[in-house]
């Protein structure tokens, strides 16, 4: 079975534009390129997992979510980094689905489709719902905590690890896995 890193999209890999509907609004954090390249070079499969309640709210067109994910994947591929897939939840916050983070549905789907060992995998994101999704899936989790991180709310367990940005998280993942 393979190891993977599941990354929240907005606020982790790209700047969070709040209900990003225009593909021209994509702005990748500069450190994301190096971070994902390091993970790719270490043999991790890389996935984007993103809640997109803007679709249910009619603020974001679903075809634009797909297009934005595709543009990001192509951008990284052009730099030699493979993102193996992107999963998104288009449901409302109170929709009761199993895919919306903090639920583990997107990670479980990725694991099933790509033969991933979740115990050897990681979830990285800027919200506690990301951390909780990783925990519920059986993966290790890292919270990106910086000046743009929303206040920590909810009844979630603490993050196993905290990093300032995705590059710091990638280095931590590699270091922790080399230790074990």
User: Active-site residue numbers?
Assistant: 8, 10
Asked if 107 and 118 count as a contact pair (C-beta separation under 8 A), the reply is yes
Q: Tokens representing 10?
A: 């907005």
Instruction: Let me know: does 14 contact 26? Beta carbons within 8 Å.
Output: yes
CA angle 74, 78, 82 (to 5 degrees): 65
Query: Residue 173 has which token pair?
Result: 């993942």
d(CA 157, CA 99): 19
Distance CA 174, CA 161 (A): 13
Tokens of 118: 């979740």
Cβ pair 128, 159 in contact under 8 A: yes
């Amino acid at each position: 079975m393979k190891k993977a890193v599941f990354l929240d999209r907005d606020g982790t890999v790209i700047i969070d534009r709040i209900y990003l509907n225009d593909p021209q609004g994509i702005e990748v954090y500069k450190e994301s390129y190096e971070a994902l390249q390091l993970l790719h070079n270490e043999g991790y499969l890389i996935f984007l997992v993103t809640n997109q309640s803007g679709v249910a709210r009619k603020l974001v067109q679903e075809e634009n979510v797909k297009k934005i994910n595709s543009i990001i994947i192509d951008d990284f591929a052009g730099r030699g980094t493979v993102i193996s897939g992107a999963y998104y939840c288009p449901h409302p916050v109170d929709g009761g689905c199993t895919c919306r983070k903090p639920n583990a549905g997107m990670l479980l789907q990725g694991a099933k489709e790509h033969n991933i060992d979740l115990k050897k995998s990681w979830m990285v994101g800027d919200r506690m719902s990301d951390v909780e999704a990783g925990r519920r899936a059986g993966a290790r989790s890292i919270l990106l905590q910086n000046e743009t991180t929303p206040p920590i709310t909810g009844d979630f367990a603490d993050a196993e690890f905290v990093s300032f940005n995705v590059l710091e998280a990638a280095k931590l993942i590699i270091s922790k896995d080399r230790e074990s």
